[in-house]
Amino acid sequence: MKRNLALSLVILLISTGLALAEQVEKPKPQSWADPDRLSYEEIKFSPPRPERVVLENGLTVYYLEDRELPLVNISLIVGAGAVFEPPGKEGLAEMTGDVMRTGGAAKLTGDKVDEELEYLAAPISISLGMEYGTGSLSVLKKDLNRAFKIFADLIRNPAFDEAKLDQQKNLKVEELRRIFDKPQRLAFREFKKAIYAGNARGRLPVISSIEKIERDDLVSFHKSHFFPRNLRMAVTGDISKQEAVDLISRYFGDWDDEGDFGTAPLPKPQENAPLYYYEKKVPQSTVIIGAIGPGKESPDFYPFTVLDYILGSGGFRSRIFQEVRSNRGLAYSAGSFYEGRQGYGSFGAYAMTKSESTGQVLTLMEGILKDARESRIPAQDLHLAKRSIVNSYIFSFTSSHMIAFQYMMLEFQGLPTKFLSEYPAKIDAVSREDVLKTAERYLDPGKKTIFVLGDQSKFDEPLKSFGEVKRVK
């Protein structure tokens, strides 16, 4: 009560005018509640659930109504990615997606497609990544029909205009030439090659592979991977379910192609890999320690998510950030990343530090990973990680399109829809023992991949003290 009185007094004084307010003492922060003891009204939120419709040809559609704005948003996922590229043609998936978007379709040239879409302010994107491809269209309700017809044409009947392919190849070659100009991007590219060595995911486009790609390659890549049963769509916005189903049936209903779902062997952890070193004369090194983590379907996904949070992705309090940055000022960017995919996960701990502290940072990071393998994390660290992950989970449901997209993605990844509803409880059930076990299993020192980019002539410690060095370039 006393506290409230003191505060209202201050407010009263200030409300009499600014001149007086200047003489008012600063409020004593002590009079404010301990921020850990604030109480909050409970939030009860059940995110809307999209409806699932399967067309006769096998095309699956997720639909969610959202009338807030006069917009319709459409996304698709297709099982077409770089993992299915024939060796020597690295970059084919990316080129296929790019030229589907730029090379025109049916009776429209690529330039005409651009003109129509930009006049309607209806952006379309098509992009084929490492394991799968995505497409999207965002359009004002009034222009939906016109824009969707173009979208469907680009997906089903891309023209793959030769001139546009040449342009995209030229641009890609220039991009590859310029990779060396951005050391951090270069480092993560080279790291990917190292950790996925021997797997399709480690084969990245180079200038010579881009130059070998021809129109026929695009045509056949498209033909084998784009077919109704290999494609899922999410439609949300200012549209009824019937309208959505009618629209998609009109432009995709008579599509009865079949093709190849494709299989790609999963990456395996490297056994006793050397330390990969890429020399570049820059004042700051990029250090990454990578490992193959659990897949999203694995029961280990949850404890590993918690582990990654504690190690480096959980903000300022995470161990790598705290030790490397806060305590020692050795880096601006330091932390870890983990992404659970289908059948495996990619994990890495990283930091960017001046050449002269490269060895020190590598030692610190190895120590942090070792500690995670050898001792159980303190209960309060586990508590913080679990609360953070669970409390922020609500942000996965902030838009109807985000929600529908997640359902579509789950199905694509072969996960049950209850994955989303069970996630918080499964995170909450993780024990200190679980975290220790996953650390032992996945952060085994014999299975890690260390990568360093920098200028070793300036390092504080020779790299060979961390293992056998393999120079890459």
Partner 1 sequence: MENLQGENQTVMSRSSQGPKAVSRRFVTLLLLGAALLAASPGALHAYNLEDRVQRVTLENGMRVLLVERHTSPTVSLYIRYLVGAVDDGEGKTGAAHLLEHMLFKGTSTIGTKNFREEERVLKKIRETGTALDRERMKGNRADEAEVQRLAKALKELQSEAKEWIVENEIDRLYSENGAVDLNASTGQDVTTYKVSLPANRIELWARIEADRMTSPVLREFYTERDVVIEERRQTYESVPSRKLMELFLATAFTASPYRRPIIGWPSDISFLTPDYLEAFFKQYHSPNNTVIAIVGDINTAKTLEIVKKYFGSIPSHKLEGHHVTGEPAQSGEKRTALVAEANPYLVIGWHKPTLPSFEDYVFDVIEALLSKGRTSRFHRSIVQGRQIGEDVSAANGMPAARYPNLFMVAGTPRHPHTAEELEHAVYEEIDKLKNEPVQKQELEKIINQLRAEFIRDLSSNSGLASRLSYYEIITGDYRYMTRYVEMIEKVTPKDIMAAAKKYLHEENRTVAVLVKKEKP
Residues 3-42 interacting with partner 1 (rule: CB under 8 A): 7, 10-11, 14-15, 17-18, 21-22, 24, 26-27, 29-30, 32-36, 38, 40-42
Nearer to partner 1, 115 or 468 (CB): 115
The amino acid sitting at 45 is F
128 touches 247 (CB < 8 A): no
Cα–Cα distance list, 42 to 39, 45, 391, 426 (Å): 9, 10, 12, 21
Q: Of residues 422-441, which lie at the interface with partner 1 (CB under 8 A)?
A: none
Binding mask 101-120 for partner 1 (x = CB under 8 A): -x--------x--xx--xxx
Considering only residues 64, 92, 105, 122, which one is a binding residue for partner 1 as defined by CB under 8 A? 122
Asked whether position 1 contacts partner 1 by CB under 8 A, the answer is no
Q: Of residues 124-163, which lie at the interface with partner 1 (CB under 8 A)?
A: 129-130, 138, 140
Rounded distance between C-alpha atoms, residue 6 and residue 234, angstroms = 55
Q: Of residues 35-74, which lie at the interface with partner 1 (CB under 8 A)?
A: 35-36, 38, 40-43, 45, 47, 66, 68-71
Stretch that binds partner 1, among 188-196, 250-258, 268-276, 438-446 (CB under 8 A): 188-196
Binding mask 376-395 for partner 1 (x = CB under 8 A): --------x--xx-xxxxxx
Nearer to partner 1, 57 or 184 (CB): 184
Nearer to partner 1, 354 or 376 (CB): 354
Nearer to partner 1, 59 or 364 (CB): 364
Nearer to partner 1, 157 or 333 (CB): 333
Considering only residues 212, 240, 332, 470, which one is a binding residue for partner 1 as defined by CB under 8 A? 332
Q: What are phi and psi of 455, to 5 degrees?
A: -120, 95
Nearer to partner 1, 191 or 252 (CB): 191
Considering the complex, what minimum distance in angstroms separates the CB of residue 57 from partner 1?
29
Nearer to partner 1, 228 or 335 (CB): 335
Report how many residues bind partner 1 under the rule CB under 8 A.
104
User: Between β-strands 469-471 and 275-279, what pairing exists: parallel, antiparallel or unpaired?
Assistant: parallel
Asked whether position 180 contacts partner 1 by CB under 8 A, the answer is yes
Nearer to partner 1, 142 or 212 (CB): 142
The amino acid sitting at 431 is S
Token pair for 156: 């089903």
Token pair for 222: 């498209």
Of residues 140, 96, 149, 100, the one with CA closest to residue 122: 140
Q: Of residues 214-243, which lie at the interface with partner 1 (CB under 8 A)?
A: none
Asked whether position 472 contacts partner 1 by CB under 8 A, the answer is no
Cα–Cα distance list, 46 to 209, 243, 397, 403, 424 (Å): 49, 25, 9, 12, 13
Considering only residues 353, 406, 438, 449, which one is a binding residue for partner 1 as defined by CB under 8 A? 353
Place of tokens 């029961």: 299
Q: Of residues 287-326, which lie at the interface with partner 1 (CB under 8 A)?
A: 312-317, 322, 325-326
Considering the complex, what minimum distance in angstroms separates the CB of residue 239 from partner 1?
15
The amino acid sitting at 40 is Y
Rounded distance between C-alpha atoms, residue 442 and residue 293, angstroms = 6
**Dihedral class, residue 212 (left if φ above 0, else alpha if ψ from -120 to 50, else beta):** alpha
Considering the complex, what minimum distance in angstroms separates the CB of residue 340 from partner 1?
12
Rounded distance between C-alpha atoms, residue 400 and residue 67, angstroms = 10
Considering the complex, what minimum distance in angstroms separates the CB of residue 400 from partner 1?
8
User: Between β-strands 60-65 and 345-354, what pairing exists: parallel, antiparallel or unpaired?
Assistant: unpaired
Of residues 95, 288, 114, 284, the one with CA closest to residue 175: 95
Token pair for 70: 């006069």
3-state secondary structure 313-356: HCHHHCHHHHHHHHCCCCCCCEEEEEEECCCCEEEEEEEEEEHH
